[in-house]
Amino acid sequence: MEGFYKFLSNNSIFIVTFIVLIVWAGVFFYLNSIDKRIRQIEKENKGERNEK
Amino acid sequence: MHSKAFALFLKDFRSELRTRYAVNSLAMFILVAISVILFSIGQEKIPQSLTGGLFWVVIFFSAMSGLARAFVSEEERGTTLTLQLIASPSTIFTGKLLFNLILVFLMNIVIAVLYSALFDEFVIRSFYLFVLTFVLSNFGLAISSTIIAAIISKAGSKGTLYPVLSFPILLPLILTSVQLTSNCMVGTSFAESKVDLAVIVCYDVIMLTASYMLFDFIWKD
Amino acid sequence: MIWKTFLFLLLCFVSIAGISFPIVENPVHWYQYPMIKGLEENAKIIFFHVPTAWLTVVAFFMSTVYSIQYLRKKNLDDDAKSYTAAQLGIIFCILATVTGAIWAKFAWGSYWSWDPRQTSIFALLLIYGAWFALRSSIESEEKRASLSSVYSIIAFLTVPFFIFIMPRIMLGLHPGAESIEDGKVVQSASPVVDFKMNGNMLLIFFLSLIAFTILYFWMWRVGYKSLIYRDKILKQSSRG
């Protein structure tokens, strides 16, 4: 554990990388969830049209 | 078509003579802008290149105050529909453009005379180049401000939006004009600044054609 | 949905590689970047800053294309597409401006120095701002669509002037930029004259460009579809 902290404080660029990865994952899953919801609405819309 | 456009221009001209709204506000604005600059300078000696830039600042802000009215006045009086009935969009645009051209030339000649009288540093070495720059940029200014005025007249908030919309459109024109004016003050020849002149000519031509093509879409709805 | 996984992994790889791969004097391994004099670690911004600037331009172009499309066909879906493109454009424009300004503080010594490209992106920011101000001031949908289309076309026409005028008026500071003085092309005045990427740097740069472009198109599609469906649902519910 001690060695790990030392490694991070010497190579702080990895912390930056880690934060960037978290941000990217957040953006990705947020977009993905919107995409899914839109797909659902698209399907419902088509279904309604067929009923008419 | 030409006679109609001219008639429209005459109508604007006469109503302007009657109320003198645009001319009065323009004259006051020029006075205010120049005196603000004079006050802020005070007794300082300012570099020559700066006066050329300030000259265009005065022109830009005066244009912003006076030229927005072209189409707004029609909307306010409720004469837009009548105009749509009697003339084609391009005719209307020509008429308004003529009026704005006269206004811009009047305004800028006054500014130029006042400015060169009040600022000792504003010395033009190559006079003919300056006249050419002046005329070409006035055309550009009139064309762009007329089409933006047409957009504004259909939008909700009429007064405040005008400078916001015009600035990015006028920016290339103003930058080139400032460059050319500082060239004139240094005293460069025609041949050296012909590229900048060509840029302004291109700007005028492109904006004119685009305005005529797009005005239909603004006017008919 | 293979391409989504692909995009996710690609951008993960690009951010890991772009940020944390070491810069050494003489690159031997494939993961090492060459040292660029005057930039050192600062050179890594190219993997993130350039794609955002590129997407700003792409978004602006697409917004104009769909504006023209709207004026020709009068289909409100095209307006939604144009609007979403512009929304994404202003986000990337702000990102590019901010990252560039922070980088410039370390590379050139000041946040803002009116370099040609800085001025151009500032002009783009102004155009976007004016465009959104115009849109927010009009209530009727059709009117808003046609007026903002006209404005975006006019604004698009001024862009070539910026590209042409700027290097004549001010000195280029960007790495690889050139300035024109007295009709002659001179090298940029920046401290970084010699900007050469080696093979793997170029590869990661292009991977990043591709990944960001895919991300942009995905965001754009999600954006315009949600706008279109929102309008549809609103109309349905108002009808009864």
Cross-chain CB nearest to A17 (options C8, C19, C225) = C19
- CB < 8 Å to A24, chain C: 11-12, 15
A near C: at least 3 beta-carbon pairs less than 8 Å apart: yes
Q: What is the DSSP letter of B67?
A: T
- CB < 8 Å to A38, chain C: 222, 225-226, 229
How far, in Å, CA of A27 to CA of C212, rounded? 13
Residue C19 near residue A17, CB atoms below 8 Å: yes
Q: How many residues does chain C have?
A: 240
Report the neighbours of B using a cutoff of 3 or more CB pairs below 8 angstroms: C
pLDDT of residue C193: 46
For residue C79, the Cα-to-chain-centroid distance in whole angstroms is 21
Query: Using the beta-carbon criterion (under 8 Å), do C218 and A31 form an inter-chain contact?
Result: yes
Residue B190 near residue B198, CB atoms below 8 Å: no
Please tell me the total count of domains within chain B.
Answer: 1
Cα angle: B133, vertex B137, B138; to 5 degrees: 115
- CB < 8 Å to B167, chain C: 126, 130
pLDDT of residue A36 exceeding 70, the answer is yes
pLDDT of residue A4: 77
pLDDT of residue B11: 84
| Closest alpha carbon to C50 in C188, C213, C238, C159 | C213
| Closest alpha carbon to C157 in B163, B173, B177, B169 | B169
How far, in Å, CA of B13 to CA of B1, rounded? 18
A near B: at least 3 beta-carbon pairs less than 8 Å apart: no
Residue C119 near residue C172, CB atoms below 8 Å: no
Query: Which residue is listed with tokens 């922070």?
Result: C102
pLDDT digits 0-9 by tens, C160-198: 888 777 777 776 667 656 555 555 555 554 545 455 667
- CB < 8 Å to C147, chain B: 151, 154-155, 218
- CB < 8 Å to C72, chain B: none
Q: At what angle do helices B89-118 and B48-66 cross, to 10 degrees?
A: 140
Cross-chain CB nearest to A24 (options C15, C219, C233) = C15
Q: What is the DSSP letter of C110?
A: S
pTM of the complete model:
0.86
Report the neighbours of A using a cutoff of 3 or more CB pairs below 8 angstroms: C
- The helix or strand, by DSSP H or E, that contains position C34, with its residue range, turns out to be strand C33-34
| Ranges of chain B with pLDDT below 70 | 1-2, 156-159, 221
Query: Using the beta-carbon criterion (under 8 Å), do B221 and C142 form an inter-chain contact?
Result: yes
| Ranges of chain C with pLDDT below 70 | 36-39, 171-173, 175-197, 240
How far, in Å, CA of B52 to CA of B107, rounded? 17
Residue C204 near residue C46, CB atoms below 8 Å: no
pLDDT of residue C39: 67
Nearest Cα of chain A lies from the Cα of C155 at a distance, in angstroms, of 30
pLDDT of residue B206: 94
How far, in Å, CA of C10 to CA of C6, rounded? 6
- Domain hosting residue B188, numbered range: 2-219
| Closest alpha carbon to B1 in B87, B128, B119, B98 | B87
Query: Using the beta-carbon criterion (under 8 Å), do C19 and A35 form an inter-chain contact?
Result: no
Closest Cα in chain A to C227: A38
Query: Using the beta-carbon criterion (under 8 Å), do C151 and B151 form an inter-chain contact?
Result: yes
Query: Using the beta-carbon criterion (under 8 Å), do A45 and C229 form an inter-chain contact?
Result: yes
pLDDT of residue B87: 79
Nearest Cα of chain A lies from the Cα of C149 at a distance, in angstroms, of 26
Q: What is the ipTM of this complex?
A: 0.88
Nearest Cα of chain C lies from the Cα of A49 at a distance, in angstroms, of 12
Mean pLDDT of A14-37: 90
How far from each other are the two terminal CA atoms of chain B, in whole angstroms? Answer: 22
pLDDT of residue B20: 81
Cross-chain CB nearest to C154 (options B154, B202, B214) = B214
